[in-house]
Structure 1
Amino acid sequence: MQTIRFWTPCEGHVDRRRKWQFPSIIMTMGLLAAPSYALAAVKCPSVGKPVVSLELGSRYESNDKSRSDIDENADAAVDKALKPIDVYVRSLANLSDQSPKASTRDETNRCLYRALSSWADAGALSDLGTLNAKLAISPRVAGMAISYHDAKAVTPPDDEQKKAIETWLQSLGVKLMTFFDEDAPKMASRNNLRAWAGLAVGQIGVATDNDQLSSWGAKTNEMVICSADDDGGLPLEMKRGDKALHYQLHAVGPLVVNAALLNAKFNDSFSVCQGKLDRIVDFTLSALQKPELAAAKAGTEQTFSTGKEKLEPFQIAWLEPYLKFRQSEKATRLAERYRPLSNSNLGGNLTSQYSAKSKK
């Protein structure tokens, strides 16, 4: 079943061509107010109605124990249900992608805070009605937290927005932490899904100065990193049939970005388990060149070999933060081939962000 419920005191939507449309009026404290984009020189885009309730079925064939055989109809239904949230996260990333020195950065950050506070005030994502909804939400929450933290570092929100946004983000972080510690299926509690939860919770902790959440994110990263074999393969991802390399790649993103963003607070984030993260990255990059390396562990030919899958830039956006902390000819060559590298769940255009950081 795929069900979403929206909060609707404020209309405005995104059309099928993903062009921003703007609301004619906004309800604020029960009063009619001028359009939000009239408050600043920058026109704030509508980010859609907050999604309060979400129910998702599985993407996979019901008899597939490896959870690698996609049911095309179910997959499309899940994508459709998640689309309003994905559009929202992309809009936040687009706003936070502005250069810190851009003349409009303060105003775009204020747009971002309006977008976040509108979903916070609605209690967005507070009702996740199915197991699959709880498993799917971590990457989106991670993107929200990273965008907020990036904006906050340049232009602080006002006190009312700060309280609303951070209370909401922390509530999501606590729910994710509790779910993955207590209720998530055994495999999900330790595989790429746990890595994404670690990124989401860890970055909420960093963005809101919550040590409990940031520490949980760091410990989760360490747990998943330490699970890798001596070659750098992640055993739970290598059980995923012909998508083993796909899911290894899906896990590396949050592991690397979390290590990079937590490094200022936990300065050993890249060295846990005798530097196994470097082995994970090296194995992943080597397997992208020679998928048979993953096939040997998975026991079957990989989608990158059979033509079912083609590497996309968003899948390797994590190379930019990795290269900020590590030197790797393999990583450099791959990044140069696919740039610009962007992934809204990892914070947006990481090529431009890390290029700007390297110039500071």
Structure 2
Amino acid sequence: MNRMSFASLRLGMLLLLGTATLGVALSAHAMSYEKRQKLDLSQYTVKDPDASFFDVKSRMALLKRTDNDMLEYNRDALKEGPSCRQELAKPPLDSVIRIPGYYPQPKAWELASQPLFDFEDTVSHLAGSYVASGDDYYADCLVQFLDKWATHDAISDFYYTRREPQGWYSTESMMFAAALSYSIVRPAVADKRPEAIERINHWLNTLAHKHSGIRGGENSCCNNHFYRRALYASMIGVLTDDDELFQFGVSAVYSALSDMLPNGALPREMERGRRASHYQNYALLYLVNIMQVAYRQGYDLFEFKYDGHTIDQGVQFALDTFDDPAALGDLATHNQYRGFLDDEQYLAWMEIYLKHHPDPRISRYVSKKRPIDNRSAGGYVTLYFMDPEAQQHAVLAPKKKEMAATFEPD
């Protein structure tokens, strides 16, 4: 081995050791799984099982009378929704869901994941069409669609090992996509299809307990994947009047705030190196949705402080790194991946957050991407949340969609 190659190897080893040491240091600051299990969250109970993550009736009334061009455009684009017959013809995923890892096999992962993405698109689209049109046809269709999957006990058989967790990861977003969308339409159909409602409730509740009962690995027990599980748990907990699941969801907020560094960084997400800023944002996508579900039950976690931290510290840190990656300091490389800022789905949390904390920087980012929708984490958030006074017209710019969208491989 010549001197140049030996020096390069030595440098590489030093960088690797430095990264590993930083990762250990950051993880040591984070709340452990065991400590999280001991949290007393008994004060968080479900108050209204029929409350969606936004006030559906009030929003539909606003959409009927609005003269806001942005909302009218978004509403009119969704009014003529999909054919129920075509949606019901889609087969449920009632066999073992086994998904290859993304990084070693991106093409295979994409192909295997397509039916899962289609499910998320279907439930989100039907819910959006109901809100936009006020036509119970779409609400009834969504309940029939979910009832078919419930009858087949779909997505309950997923392959999971510590070495091959992708099937477990992939079903997370299917569950919260279903729960959030179902919460929008259920009150409109409950009297018409009580037996279907009972089956769907049982299916979702059983699935949530089974899925969340898996602890996960050293990272997935407690990082953004935990926040994803907490999102479906919070919403399904509300829908099925299950305080245990609802508290599981709230525990993610406690965990994230406890983990948070003084500058607002989430240490487990900082370990992602070149994607640290991306994963800080990714974590907020789920945490903000959980907080919105809790808010609708009477718990204002947007103003909550735990271990000296609030969610706004995490938000401001994320925005700082978007504006200038140097804000990461020594936590991660400043050569950050920034492609997620071109995909509006990753910014869906911002539309919700603005309802609680007006912020000029957030407004700047979302104004360029509206109308924003996310096929699983919130659906048509501009339609559901944007203040009519916030923006009248879309900013014309080419939009870039990523296949991964709201699912990030670990």
TM-score by length of 2: 0.69
Give CA-to-partner distance per residue, 1:120-145, whole Å, 9 cap, x none.
11111111112221123212211110
Q: Distance in 1 between matches of 2:264 and 2:361?
A: 15
Q: Distance in 1 between matches of 2:235 and 2:336?
A: 32
Does structure 2 conserve the Cα–Cα contact (< 8 Å) formed by 1:55 and 1:128? yes
Q: Which amino acid aligns with 1:287?
A: T
- Measured after TM superposition, the shift of residue 277 of structure 1 is 0.7
Q: Distance in 1 between matches of 2:233 and 2:241?
A: 12
Task: Work out which of the residue numbers 221, 224, 232 in structure 1 matches 2:253.
Answer: 221
Q: Which amino acid aligns with 1:280?
A: G
What do you get for the CA RMSD once the two structures are aligned? 2.3
Give CA-to-partner distance per residue, 1:282-337, whole Å, 9 cap, x none.
11122111123236411352112xxx665310000111111111121111121112
Does structure 2 conserve the Cα–Cα contact (< 8 Å) formed by 1:123 and 1:168? yes
Q: Which amino acid aligns with 1:333?
A: R
Correspondences of 1:322-337 after superposition (within 5 Å) = 322-337=353-368
Larger radius of gyration: 2
Give CA-to-partner distance per residue, 1:52-82, whole Å, 9 cap, x none.
221123223xxxxxxxxxx3xx122122112
Does structure 2 conserve the Cα–Cα contact (< 8 Å) formed by 1:295 and 1:301? no
Does structure 1 conserve the Cα–Cα contact (< 8 Å) formed by 2:130 and 2:185? no
Q: 1:350 to 1:101 in 2, by over 3 A?
A: closer
Q: Distance in 2 between matches of 1:295 and 1:301?
A: 12
Tell whether 2:107 aligns with 1:76.
yes
Q: Distance in 2 between matches of 1:143 and 1:225?
A: 25
Greater alpha carbon shift after TM alignment, 43-52 vs 323-332: 43-52
Q: Distance in 2 between matches of 1:227 and 1:357?
A: 36
Q: Which amino acid aligns with 1:293?
A: A
Q: Distance in 2 between matches of 1:137 and 1:42?
A: 23
Task: Work out which of the residue numbers 56, 59, 80 in structure 1 matches 2:99.
Answer: 56
- Report SS of the residue matched to 2:268: coil
Task: Work out which of the residue numbers 311, 320, 330 in structure 2 matches 1:277.
Answer: 311
Q: 1:117 to 1:337 in 2, by over 3 A?
A: same
Q: Distance in 2 between matches of 1:214 and 1:175?
A: 15
TM-score by length of 1: 0.78
Give CA-to-partner distance per residue, 1:8-27, whole Å, 9 cap, x none.
xxxxxxxxxxxxxxxxxxxx
Q: 1:95 to 1:42 in 2, by over 3 A?
A: closer
Identity of aligned residues (%): 24
Does structure 1 conserve the Cα–Cα contact (< 8 Å) formed by 2:341 and 2:347? no
Task: Work out which of the residue numbers 256, 267, 270 in structure 2 matches 1:235.
Answer: 267
Does structure 2 conserve the Cα–Cα contact (< 8 Å) formed by 1:100 and 1:154? no
Q: Which amino acid aligns with 2:297?
A: K
Q: Distance in 1 between matches of 2:332 and 2:353?
A: 26
Q: 1:339 to 1:93 in 2, by over 3 A?
A: same
Task: Work out which of the residue numbers 160, 168, 172 in structure 1 matches 2:207.
Answer: 172
Q: Distance in 2 between matches of 1:149 and 1:176?
A: 20
Residue number in structure 1 paired with 2:198 = 163
Residue number in structure 2 paired with 1:43 = 83
Q: Distance in 1 between matches of 2:323 and 2:369?
A: 14
Task: Work out which of the residue numbers 312, 320, 331 in structure 2 matches 1:286.
Answer: 320
Q: Which amino acid aligns with 1:342?
A: D
Q: 1:286 to 1:133 in 2, by over 3 A?
A: same
Greater alpha carbon shift after TM alignment, 340-349 vs 142-151: 340-349
Q: Which amino acid aligns with 2:327?
A: L
Does structure 2 conserve the Cα–Cα contact (< 8 Å) formed by 1:260 and 1:325? no
Correspondences of 1:139-218 after superposition (within 5 Å) = 139-156=173-190, 158-180=193-215, 184-218=216-250
Structure scoring higher RCO (CA < 8 A, sep ≥ 6) equals 2
Does structure 2 conserve the Cα–Cα contact (< 8 Å) formed by 1:232 and 1:281? yes
Give CA-to-partner distance per residue, 1:94-151, whole Å, 9 cap, x none.
11113547342x1100000011011111111111112221123212211110000011
Q: Which ranges in structure 1 are unaligned for 5 or more consecutive residues?
A: 1-40, 61-70
- Report SS of the residue matched to 1:54: coil
Residue number in structure 2 paired with 1:268 = 300
Q: Distance in 2 between matches of 1:77 and 1:320?
A: 33
Q: Which amino acid aligns with 1:151?
A: V
Q: Which amino acid aligns with 1:43?
A: S
Q: Give the structure with the larger strand fraction.
A: 1
Does structure 1 conserve the Cα–Cα contact (< 8 Å) formed by 2:289 and 2:378? no
Residue number in structure 2 paired with 1:301 = 335
Residue number in structure 1 paired with 2:157 = 127
Q: Which amino acid aligns with 1:159?
A: P
Q: Which ranges in structure 2 are unaligned for 5 or more consecutive residues?
A: 1-80, 391-410
- Report SS of the residue matched to 1:339: coil
- Measured after TM superposition, the shift of residue 207 of structure 1 is 1.9
